[in-house]
């Protein structure tokens, strides 16, 4: 569903640790071409289409999600990358 947001060509969601909730949804999005992805617009896009608990609390932009030839995602490495990126957010 996040793939239909403006400027997004691919997206993956992972769970990140959270003190209050245990885990929160983190969306990792790949921009379409040289498009700029508005993180808040992605959240609003999701909010209009998903239950509140499924809406990502964190949106990270990555040049490429990196799928295997069979279309599968390496969730372990993406989650590790997302943890590092989220820790650097204000």
Residue 83's pLDDT is what?
97
Residue 38's pLDDT is what?
96
Q: What is the CATH number of domain 2-87?
A: 3.30.300.30
Task: Concatenate the DSSP letters of all residues of 44-84 into one string.
Answer: HHHHTTS-GGGS-SEEEE-S---B-TTS-B-HHHHHHHHHH
pLDDT confidence bin for 89, thresholds 50/70/90: confident
User: What pLDDT, in 10s, does the model give residues 53-70?
Assistant: 999 999 999 999 999 999
Looking at residues 45-50, what average pLDDT do you find?
97
pTM flag (> 0.75): yes
- As a whole number, the mean pLDDT across the chain is 95
For residue 63, the cross-strand partners are none
Separation between Cα atoms, residue 21 and residue 35, nearest integer Å:
33
Separation between Cα atoms, residue 33 and residue 63, nearest integer Å:
9
SS3 content of the chain, % helix, strand, coil (to 5): 30, 30, 40
């Amino acid at each position: 569903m996040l793939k239909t947001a403006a400027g997004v060509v691919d997206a993956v969601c992972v769970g990140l640790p959270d003190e209050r909730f245990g885990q929160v949804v983190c969306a990792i999005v790949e921009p379409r071409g040289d498009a700029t992805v508005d993180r808040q617009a992605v959240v609003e896009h999701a909010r209009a289409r998903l239950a509140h608990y499924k809406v990502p609390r964190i949106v990270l932009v990555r040049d490429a999600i990196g799928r295997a030839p069979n279309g599968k995602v390496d969730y372990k490495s993406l989650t590790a990358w997302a943890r590092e990126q989220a820790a650097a957010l204000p």
